[in-house]
Every structure is written in structure tokens, then in C-alpha cells.
Structure 1
Amino acid sequence: MNTLYPYVHASGKRMILFSNRRALLEQQRRQAQGTDATCMICQKLEYNFNHGMSSIEWVERNFDYIIIDEAHYLFQDALFNRNTEIMLDMVEQLQKSKVIILMSATADLLKKHFVGRIKKTYHVSADYSYIKAVYCYTTPDSVNKILNGVPPGEKVVMFGDNKKRLRTLHREYPDSEYLNSGNKDESLAFRQITQNECFSCQMLFTTKVLDNGVNLKDNAIKHIIIEQTDMVEFIQCLGRKRVQSPDDTITLYFLNSVFSIAGRYKDLKRDLAIVQQYLNARASGYEQGFWKINRTEYIPLMFDNSHHLVKPAYYKALSDCAFYRDILNKKTSLVQ
């Protein structure tokens, strides 16, 4: 914002900045105060589009620069929010007439999708020197040993995708908060993070509601625990901590569950096999016959309620399946 906006404004142009999370939107609105830049959450444009409004045409009429912060959202959220295809369609429709900037620390799938269509790439190298130690654990119960060993005055952030587990841990440790998308409006920690980029409790147990875009600037945060098998989410969670000084270091702990990864790989292989059957039927002109046979069978989340194959969800599933296969074949790992 500080670098791009003055150039856009001096050129007599207008810009819109999209974000994928409400916490990020609030931070962007504060940064945009005093300017004519428009800040909007992606889901609002998607909602308006689905309710008959000409959302993409509105963007086209009113803005010259379109910035999507944390743009991996287009694919990352597609398996549970199939409306991300609307944002992806907007980018593809307006890429020749507008300046579109996609920002992300985890842009691999974006670069694959838009290969040959990206005019310029800006790369900032990741610096993980602030991680003084990394520990891997294989049983969930190990987390209690980690938490019990945290000294007074030091804080912990734990990212996980099991709400019941995070809620249970919150109940076991009095000086803590549990944060998820359902309780963020009433959460003191969420309000503190969006306003001051820190939180007052010692331990914060959070879902992916804080997985990207949000800054945590607090030297007291010395421990980050991540229980995520998705590589993009893993990197995004790790990136929430913003280093303030050379001695601002953390210890990283992560759960390495082969059983969980194997389960996800098995599910994705099943889903992609069904999609391939659908693609074969469509190519042969038997799409209606496919749905007639399979209307009461299990349907992967890559299809919406109208039996439309959601492109970003399909691309994400293909990428995840290949990644999990490589982990199980010991060709890669969550931590390189």
C-alpha cells in the first residue's frame, strides 16, 4: 500500500485491494485510511455476484489496479468455498484490460495456473533464521508436554484443524483463548490481534482463521505449534510471526502424522478417480448418463450443487494428491 498507492494516485488511477480474511481486511482498512483506495473482502464480491449483481463489471468500471492479497486463496479455499472460482474468473476476464497484482508467499499453484500469462514476477526470499530450533512429534499427546514446559512470560500460538482438540486444550490451560471463525466476533484475542497485532493471554489455540495475512508482532511469542498437513497452510501459519529484532526468535513444533497424510491421500485418490470418470463421460458425450448413474452415490466436493466441476478445487486436489504421494514415497516432507 505505501509503495504502490502513491504511484497509482499520481497517475490519476484507482485501485481496489481484495483480502481473503476479515482480520486482514481490518488491517488493510487501517493502512488505507486517508486514501481513495477501496478495500473489500473476496467473499463480498462472490456474494454479490451470486445474488445477481454485476460485481465483475463494477470492478471493471471503477478500478484500474486490482490487487489480491493472499491470492493463494483462489485455490486454497476452493474445496470448501466453491465461490473462489468467481474471483478466478474475474482475474481471467480482466487480465488484459487491468493491472492485476497477485500477492502470496505460497504462490506455486498460482504460477502453474497462469503460466505464460504472468508479465512480471517479484520474488522476496523467505528468511527463517528466526527459528532457533525445530521439533517434530508423532503423537498428539506430546503437545501437553510442550505446553507444560513453556516458561512464564513466554507465549504460544498453536494452529490446528481439529476444533474439538483445540477447544479441549483451551479448557486445560486457564491463561489461554480458543479462536475460530465462529467465535471471532466475540473474541478478545481476535480484537487485540486486528487492532494491535498482539494478544494478552499466554496461549492462543486457533484454527486457520489466522492462517494468513495477519501480523503477530510480539517478542513474547516464543513457541509456534502447527498441526496442519497442508503445505500452504503450514507455511502461512508459520508466517504469522513478524520478527522485530535479532533476538526475536521462536521454537517451532509440528505434528508429523503419516496416518493422517495417508488418509488424505486415499480420499483424494478416490475423489480424483470419480472426477476422471466424469471427464471421460463428458468427452464422450455421456455427461447426463454419468449423473443419472451416480446421482445417489458419493459426489466429491470438487463439484458444486449443480454438478459443475469447480476448476480451482480440481487443481488444488490434483496438487495435494501429488504432494501427499511424494511424502508417502519419501520424496519430500512438510519441512524441507
Structure 2
Amino acid sequence: MSNINQTPKEPKYITDLISPKIIETWHDGDVIIISANCGRGKSYFIKNPLYDFAKASGKKILMLLHRINTIDQFQAEIERNHKTDEIEIRSYQKTQIEIQYNIPFDWVKYQFIISDEFHYFLDDSSFNTTTDLSLDKIINQKHAVKIFMSATGEDVVDYITDSYPNIKPITYTLTYDYSFIRSLTFYNKEETTEEFLKKAIKNNKKSIFFIQSARKAYSLYQKYKKDCLFCCSSSNSIYYKYVNKEKINSMLKNEKFDELILITTSCLDAGVNIIDRNLHDIVIDIKDVHSLLQCIGRKRIQDETDGLNICIKSLNNMVLGGLEQSNKHQIEMADYLKAGHTTNEYIDKFKRQYDKSYIVFDAVDENNQGVYKKINPLMYRKKTNDLARIKKMKELGEFGYCKYIQNLLGVKRYNLINENYSLEDYLHIHQGQIMYQRTDRKDLIDIMNVRRDGKLRKRLDLLNAALKEESLKFQGEVLNFRIREFSTSKVIDGKQKRYPNAWIIEAFDWTVLTPK
């Protein structure tokens, strides 16, 4: 006899939540929001139940994506499964170019328009000035059902609700579950990322390293390329030439990489699947919170025995304060317009200045009679959302960033690596390391903290004088190091580059003034 009081089983996948009968209830013009974290079958839903419904009813599906790697992976899947008859894939960016330059596109032939990873509209707006064009165009397709899918789209949903008051989105949400996270660790120092990489190689731990800077990602790859695979955006003219496209395509096709370590920028932060039971470690050096969550979602968890150890580069409250001031400065000119001031008043206020953040731009009025100043609404919303998020982090007190991420992931506890090691530890660890240029010396200068008249000093003679003073204080038993300047060179991109003023830390006995 069945138990009538049995608690209903909570839906795990989108197909548990949206049945074919529910699809039948959707009408032209409806806005559907599908909110679920990665690995819950959002793409599967499009490629299977929705595809079956569209094919049976003679309807077409347009799938919009924002990352080249995701487009390539999805395109390969529908070709492999012979579903290109009903599903067409294109990028948001192509759509935006067409709108910007009045290039015609037939939207009417599609009865379902899918905005996959739709957090793109806000998250990419900080550097992409035309995301508002594609969002507005999609929203206004009254003939079609518009489906928006993401694990981190809540800010865009709020924007749609505020900006399009006549639209009442139909929302389907799966409970967010990060119980697969085995450990959550935060660290602060730049060099700790490399220490994690060396440790992963030494211990033969398959890992993904997400690095915000393509330059830094490539630099790490260059040092440890024997064990690593490198990936960055195809739009990066400097570093994309070092990407092994054949291996990346193989990874996208097989949803797995053969190398021990994958070092990538945020070009893989959305849509790409990695299915590998040997992958249990992800290191993330990316500031944006939504992008960070997307990075975690690249590994597809198979079952309760599968899991991840997550290491995240933290932002201390001083860094948060700097980001807060930067964002406030970036919206200052937009705030002036938003307060009701006219274009003429704006020009008078900010004489011969332009908005370096590109939030304020020149627009032509409807009658083509003149130019006026206009605010990019998505870029402005992105900055104000970031400010609100930083405020919440700071309100959590010390380690506010760590606590905020911990709460977001629902993790009971986190680890914070103690990196406040002594100068002696630093010198021992970095003995023999060549510092080719000024940027390589920053950590050394900071940890030595040599000051004259309150100012941080960076000159070699002053740093060595401080090392000598400390060494003699302890009769040469500790801090028996010096910094030596010398000329060297190395091959970069096939060319020999000279460094006439490189530094190196070496053992030195100041008590006898002769090298050990």
C-alpha cells in the first residue's frame, strides 16, 4: 500500500520540471525563464523534448550563444544527432553587428528563440557595448516563444522585469545544489596560483585553472607546457596563436582533455562540458562572481561519488574598496544624465571629456535632426549591480568576499590559506628565481617593505642595505641573501629578448662579504 503522505520527489532535471504538455501551453510572445545550475539538462531540454515538439508541429528553433567554443560544441552535437533541420545556431555578437549596421535577418521563420547562458547580456556588457541591442531585439519578437536559460541569470531577469513592464515572464527554477563541493579554499597572493599548479603536477592531480588574464594564463602554460593545455579566446590577437586548436576541438568533442592541467581564460566559463571522473580540482583566479560560478559548472558531476575541490583567489576588503571606487567613478557621468540633466548641461559639465567607460554614448534622435547623449542601460545596470554586491561583501566584515561566496555556494565552511610567511621564507622559496622586469619584483619589494620618509623604496642598493643590516643583526645566521642585478636574455615568440637589468635572489654571507 502506497504512503499517501510521502513527500513528492524534487525535480532534478529540466525535463522533470517541463513536460511536453507544458510546452503546449506556451504562446507566441511568451518569455520563459529556465533557471538551474550547470548540469541540470538545460541544453538537453532544447535538443530533445523541445526539438521533438518543434519537429512535430513544423516549427523552427533559433539557438543563440555567446562563446565560440560553446557554439562549436553545440553545433557538433546537433550535427551528430541529425537535428540541424529544426535547430539553427548563431552568436549574439553576429546578431548585434546586424542590428548595428541594419543588416536584415529573418526572425519570423523561428517560432522558438533560445537565449542560452543569458547572463551574457549583463556580464559581458562591461566590455561589450552592444549587448542591449540583441536583448531588446529578442524581447520584441512577438511572434515567437522566447526562452532564456542560465545558472546565473537572476540579474537579467530583474532588468527585464524593470525595463519591460508589460512582460510577465514564466519562470521554471530548479533548486541550486552545490553539495558536490568537497572543499572550498581561498588564497590571496598571485604566486600561490603557480604553487597550486606545481603541486598539481607533482601529485599528478588533474585540474583546471581559470585565469582572468590571458597574459598570466599563457605565462603559466609556457613554464609548465609539458603537462598543460592552454586555451584563450579567438579574439585575443596576442595569445590565441599559442592555442592548440586541434586539441581544443578534441576536448569539445569528447568533453574531456588528455593533458593533466587545462589552463584557460573565461572563454570556457559557460556552456562547455567536461565529463571526467579523474578531474576533482578547479582553481579560479577570476573576479566576476557570475563568471566564477560558471567556471565551477564546467565539470559535469556524474553522481554522489563525484565531486570537486575549489580554490578561489580572494579579494580582501582593501581591493573591494578599490573596485568600489572604480565603479563609482565609471558611472559618475551617467549618474549626471540620469539625474535629469540635458545633453547641453552634460557637455557643459564635462567639457571636452568623453566617457571612457562607454556607458554614455551619442545617439541620433528619431527625426534624424540631432545627436543627444544616451545611457547604455545594461552597462549601467552591470556597474550598479557590482556596487551592490561589493557593499554586501564589505558588510560581512573581515574576509567579506570569502563569506559571500561561501553563502552563495551553501558551503558550511571554507579554508583560508595563511600566506603571511616571513621575508626569510620568501627569500628561501624564490632563491635562484630570475626577475626579468619591474613587474616581477613587486612581491619582493612589498614583503621587504623598505621605507624612507614613509615612502616604499624600490632601489636595489636600498633593498640590499636592508638585507645586510638584518643579516649582521643575527650574525649571518638568517637572511643570508642578496639581490644581484645582471644582464640576461630569453626567447619569446621565437625572438631573443634582452633584459639588461634582471634581478636574482642568491645566497650571500654579509659577514665576510663573499658569496657562499
Q: What's 1:237 paired with?
A: 295
Query: 1:289 and 2:345 equivalent?
Result: yes
**Secondary structure, counterpart of 2:360 in structure 1:** coil
Name the CA distance, whole Å, in 2 between partners of 1:122 and 1:226: 29
Deviation of the 1:326 alpha carbon: 1.4
Deviation of the 1:275 alpha carbon: 1.1
Name the CA distance, whole Å, in 1 between partners of 2:374 and 2:220: 40
Deviation of the 1:277 alpha carbon: 0.9
Q: What's 2:231 paired with?
A: 179
The answer as to whether partners of 2:230 and 2:264 remain within 8 angstroms in 1 is: yes
Could you tell me which of 81, 92, 99 is aligned with 2:139? 92
Taking structure 1 as the reference length, what is the TM-score of the superposition? Answer: 0.91
Q: What's 1:47 paired with?
A: 97
Aligned residues: 329
Query: 1:161 and 2:218 equivalent?
Result: no
Could you tell me which of 356, 378, 392 is aligned with 1:312? 378
Structure 1, 66-75 or 190-199: larger mean CA deviation: 190-199
Q: What's 1:130 paired with?
A: 180
Deviations 1:52-86 (A, max 9, x none): 2123xx11x21111011101111111121112111
- Please provide the CA RMSD for this pair: 2.1
Deviation of the 1:29 alpha carbon: 1.5
The answer as to whether partners of 1:75 and 1:315 remain within 8 angstroms in 2 is: yes
Q: What's 2:76 paired with?
A: 30
1:1-336 to 2 correspondence within 5 Å?
Answer: 1-33=47-79, 34-35=82-83, 36=85, 37-55=87-105, 58-59=106-107, 61-94=108-141, 96-115=142-161, 117-150=167-200, 152-173=203-224, 174-181=226-233, 182=236, 183=240, 186-258=244-316, 259-280=318-339, 283-284=340-341, 286-294=342-350, 296-297=352-353, 299=355, 300-304=357-361, 307-330=373-396, 333-336=404-407
Name the CA distance, whole Å, in 1 between partners of 2:58 and 2:301: 36
Taking only the aligned residue pairs, the percentage that are identical comes to 23
The answer as to whether partners of 2:230 and 2:244 remain within 8 angstroms in 1 is: no
Displaced runs of 4 or more, over 6 A? none
Taking structure 2 as the reference length, what is the TM-score of the superposition? Answer: 0.60
**Secondary structure, counterpart of 2:283 in structure 1:** strand
Name the CA distance, whole Å, in 2 between partners of 1:261 and 1:205: 26
User: Which of the two has higher C-alpha Rg?
Assistant: 2
Name the CA distance, whole Å, in 2 between partners of 1:187 and 1:129: 34
**Secondary structure, counterpart of 1:246 in structure 2:** coil
Deviation of the 1:189 alpha carbon: 4.1
Name the CA distance, whole Å, in 2 between partners of 1:201 and 1:219: 14
The answer as to whether partners of 2:212 and 2:287 remain within 8 angstroms in 1 is: no
Q: Which runs of 5 or more residues in structure 1 are unaligned? A: none
Q: Say if 1:261 and 1:192 are closer, same or farther in 2 by CA, change over 3 A.
A: farther
Q: Say if 1:214 and 1:118 are closer, same or farther in 2 by CA, change over 3 A.
A: farther
Deviation of the 1:255 alpha carbon: 0.9
Deviation of the 1:305 alpha carbon: 6.2
| Higher relative contact order (CA closer than 8 Å, sequence separation 6+) | 1
The answer as to whether partners of 1:156 and 1:203 remain within 8 angstroms in 2 is: yes
Name the CA distance, whole Å, in 2 between partners of 1:123 and 1:194: 28
The answer as to whether partners of 2:207 and 2:279 remain within 8 angstroms in 1 is: yes
Deviation of the 1:240 alpha carbon: 0.6
Quick one: which amino acid aligns to residue 27 of structure 1?
Q
Q: Say if 1:224 and 1:53 are closer, same or farther in 2 by CA, change over 3 A.
A: same
Name the CA distance, whole Å, in 2 between partners of 1:291 and 1:334: 41
Deviations 1:241-280 (A, max 9, x none): 1012433222110011224332221111112222111223
Q: Say if 1:92 and 1:291 are closer, same or farther in 2 by CA, change over 3 A.
A: farther
Name the CA distance, whole Å, in 1 between partners of 2:121 and 2:128: 9
Name the CA distance, whole Å, in 2 between partners of 1:304 and 1:211: 29
Quick one: which amino acid aligns to residue 330 of structure 2?
D
Structure that is richer in strand per residue? 2
**Secondary structure, counterpart of 2:175 in structure 1:** coil
Deviations 1:96-131 (A, max 9, x none): 432000000001112212226343211122322222
